[in-house]
Structure 1
């Protein structure tokens, strides 16, 4: 039997009197096949149109809310616009794929940079981009990319620092619930001391950033307020301290920030306090609160809830660290807001870029039975101090981070919540870490999922090779024992009882008689059945049994035997 690179007869008998050129292959009129998708979703695809719809749905499902192609950014007033220290704001853009071209547009000026996979561009805007006072502004950054990116903003002036994770434009919405204003002595309380003339006693604000269409925005509360914005304009709206429910409604998608330019922290100091609000999903969510977020401030920490037509402020209780709500849940502690991560948004991989001159931590929340699978980079956690969240199956820990980029991921089937926390001169701040993927994988941080397909066309080994190639896949090579086990589990999700054997990407060299993988990896860990492989006369192509009693045993086989191919595309790993 020749190697697959050697010529064979020009034609194939496809049955029913039909003959085709061997390079085309036989019987392609059977177009139904099985696709294995993340989370075990199996689809029987009957047409190219349905296939395209299915893949679009897969892309949407596996893409996290923090990754996208287009973002808008603004820089809230920090302490006071007239403060003698200039702001040192930064935008940190991290690419998930190679050859990522990023553009940052400020007014009519555009700056462009091409990033490698995992590379971060730290862009420092002009100090004049900081917002001033109130009213309408055009001080906006537009960030666009040809590949998925994450965008993290750092607002810094003197010792006042806040960080926030930007949401891509296509994940923005038209309705947001505004949290209740926290009671902060010297800032929001007593209410009759609030004034626009003193920075730390000025009103809390909403900052509404418009996207690319003319828009009308209404803040619905005791006295509704409406403002019209042109594309890429910003409105700053002051809030009263009265305890009323507030809802932002817009005709077109917007981003909404909530906070204060100089809220009292401790020792008569004040600093910026802002967070980007999540859209109102009108769904019931469960939020778990890691103890580290209330570090050294348990008695002052509150959970701010806005649910439909009502507000609630709940004191943090370490003995009851779970909140369920159908609205917005924001944790407040002196000097910091944290948007709590709902359980449905737990991910399998996050990325954190440390900030200079700051103690940097990742706060990780995961199911108690899956702590061993947590990784930072290539390493397991070193002597982690896991804390049980009372009354739940979850535990949390804090991990000191190295400078630069830190990839936090899970090797198994569990998902987790990850927060970035920074401590600078005793002041704690942070935000939810950007979720890169929701697809756990033992190989690393997945930015594009694997694809496994068992074709329903049974043919020879060479024809199977072409079948996979025509579908932009490879006849599968799986040289390692861990990958073999992973693939066997996946196959069990898609196979039916009629499927007994499949071709895969291994064969014997006609020149040396040695077995080799198509992807070029060494043949070390194998799963040959008893008495296999035989001699060169027994067969030169490897076939795998799917019969339950064989445990996926391999055997050598005549390459002309008809069997189904197992086709594959590797995941893209950050």
Structure 2
């Protein structure tokens, strides 16, 4: 069974609009994706590629359709927090064609996240896939790593010998005809039809710095077979982030096991440079993008502005899988792995910053039916960065973990849709106030959990601005039993009655809450016909993984 989505009477209070119910998800979630599989020639014919995708659903009854070019179409129904892997047709791999139609199209009725995996013999790489509605028209091209046997020979060896070829850009077009311009010391232009892919070599002397398009595109950067040692190469690629003009902060975790060979590829408008990584200087500031480079890995780094509250990590069987977490040093206790607070690993200080990092092992577990196991990593009150990383005897792979939500979570779990709190416009009786809220598809506020009460009253105080003394809440006394109950049918677990309350007056059957901090937001019973403003709310929607 998948317990998955929970509707909970808790308002998300940080940055919450009093009216909006929109989800605060990041670039990872969407309903439509175009995916390509880069050429991977780490092992030659006859070893076939084993390419696949991991799809994670956020909501119950999500219908997912996978269209593999002209080769195959499949539709499945998934439940919230369920992940499935799909093995892809090997003919989708791009090869060397400058223009290709080999695009994998995925659509869904509700939001999902996707991680792509390219696997051929001992060469494996992973990528976080961006949905089509989050793509951009401009990307900055990273500087080219100097690799003996690959880039150092790229300008003198024919591109027909792929492991002696330059790096390349893979540009994936969306649903509209598009003109792509790649700028540097030379100008390259290409026109793409809907769902087409362009592959463009990136030679060092051309100093290509930016990709611009008339319509949104996705851009991958990498090498089909970068030399790692004598007569040994491996696929190397990453999904680029959209270009930004603002200066961003990147905190580089010091918990990677490969620090001695790591460099940072920095891209800004009009310039690019490569810096050696030092644990003594883990903070990078750049008005552009930053990519961590290792001879076996390209990892797009997460800027501080994109830190989020909830991520999903899907480990790959038969590999060593990790989650690397970066969080403010004062917020480590709020990190949760699955249902439980994170414990068991040490936090490493990122020198000269207020941040720390840690690495935890995440391995596949037994799952129901045909699903694959996932681990939800979330923070109860703050934002953080989470990376998915892994390795086997020959490969290192990884990508930014898919973001489920940027909305601060609460003590129960990962927020899919924040709750909303609103003070009613007019003062009226309790029954009329209940109808007022329900006419707005809301409910009179119910505070059945003691932990939810401080958060709700904090938001109430912000909205009230000191104007109201008391407000109606969704509790009243039963005329049949005399017991108090919540209108949303939650059990009455924790109360905050004023001294001497609830009143024994037979007419006092409905409950008011103080609306100002000097009253400590305590409760008292009152005549249901008295006129007070109501507090309406919608429930927070929580995602919880099946193994919790």
Deviation for aligned residue 1:267: 5.9
- Taking the aligned partners of 1:266 and 1:289, their CA distance within structure 2 comes to 26
- Larger deviation: 400-409 or 214-223? 214-223
Name the residue aligned to 2:147. Answer: 184
Name the residue aligned to 2:4. Answer: none
Deviation for aligned residue 1:199: 3.2
Name the residue aligned to 2:392. Answer: 424
Q: Check conservation: 2:143, 2:274, Cα contact below 8 A.
A: yes
Say yes or no: does 1:287 pair with 2:250: yes
1:382-423 alpha-carbon deviations (Å, 9 max, x no partner):
2221000000000000011131110000112x1000000011
Name the residue aligned to 1:224. Answer: 187
**Which 5+ residue runs of structure 2 have no aligned equivalent?**
1-10, 365-372, 544-548
Name the residue aligned to 1:362. Answer: 323
Name the residue aligned to 1:115. Answer: 78
Q: Judging changes above 3 Å, is the alpha-carbon distance between structure 1 residues 179 and 140 closer, same or farther for their aligned structure 2 residues?
A: same
Deviation for aligned residue 1:441: 2.1
Structure of higher RCO (CA pairs closer than 8 Å, 6+ residues apart): 2
Aligned with residue 14 of structure 2, among 39, 49, 54: 39
Equivalent positions of 1:98-177 (< 5 A) are 98-108=60-70, 109-177=72-140
| Normalised TM-score (structure 1) | 0.88
- What is the aligned residue count? 523
Equivalent positions of 1:476-515 (< 5 A) are 476-515=445-484
1:117-163 alpha-carbon deviations (Å, 9 max, x no partner):
11123221111111111311110011111211111101111110000
Q: Check conservation: 2:13, 2:459, Cα contact below 8 A.
A: no
- Taking the aligned partners of 1:101 and 1:288, their CA distance within structure 2 comes to 37
Name the residue aligned to 1:75. Answer: 37
- Taking the aligned partners of 1:356 and 1:37, their CA distance within structure 2 comes to 36
Deviation for aligned residue 1:269: 2.2
- Larger deviation: 185-194 or 204-213? 185-194
Alignment root-mean-square deviation, CA: 1.8
Q: Judging changes above 3 Å, is the alpha-carbon distance between structure 1 residues 42 and 107 closer, same or farther for their aligned structure 2 residues?
A: closer
Say yes or no: does 1:531 pair with 2:493: no
Equivalent positions of 1:31-430 (< 5 A) are 39-41=14-16, 55=20, 59=22, 62-79=24-41, 82-108=44-70, 109-191=72-154, 194-242=157-205, 244-266=207-229, 268-293=231-256, 295-296=257-258, 298-403=259-364, 404-412=373-381, 414-430=382-398
Aligned with 1:390: secondary structure? coil
Q: Check conservation: 1:349, 1:437, Cα contact below 8 A.
A: yes
Q: Check conservation: 1:187, 1:194, Cα contact below 8 A.
A: no
1:480-512 alpha-carbon deviations (Å, 9 max, x no partner):
110111111111111122211111111111111
- Taking the aligned partners of 1:389 and 1:381, their CA distance within structure 2 comes to 19
- Taking the aligned partners of 1:392 and 1:444, their CA distance within structure 2 comes to 28
Deviation for aligned residue 1:243: 6.9
**Which 5+ residue runs of structure 1 have no aligned equivalent?**
1-35, 44-50
- Taking the aligned partners of 1:570 and 1:154, their CA distance within structure 2 comes to 36
Q: Judging changes above 3 Å, is the alpha-carbon distance between structure 1 residues 539 and 208 closer, same or farther for their aligned structure 2 residues?
A: same
1:282-334 alpha-carbon deviations (Å, 9 max, x no partner):
221111100123x23x2321111111111111110110111111112111011
- Taking the aligned partners of 1:182 and 1:445, their CA distance within structure 2 comes to 38
Q: Judging changes above 3 Å, is the alpha-carbon distance between structure 1 residues 207 and 322 closer, same or farther for their aligned structure 2 residues?
A: same
Name the residue aligned to 1:433. Answer: 401
Which entry has the higher C-alpha Rg, 1 or 2?
A: 1
- Larger deviation: 427-436 or 341-350? 427-436
- Taking the aligned partners of 1:511 and 1:41, their CA distance within structure 2 comes to 38
Q: Judging changes above 3 Å, is the alpha-carbon distance between structure 1 residues 513 and 359 closer, same or farther for their aligned structure 2 residues?
A: same
Q: Check conservation: 2:59, 2:81, Cα contact below 8 A.
A: yes
Aligned with 1:291: secondary structure? coil
Q: Check conservation: 1:205, 1:236, Cα contact below 8 A.
A: yes
- Taking the aligned partners of 2:157 and 2:249, their CA distance within structure 1 comes to 34
- Larger deviation: 359-368 or 183-192? 183-192
Deviation for aligned residue 1:268: 4.4
Name the residue aligned to 1:31. Answer: none
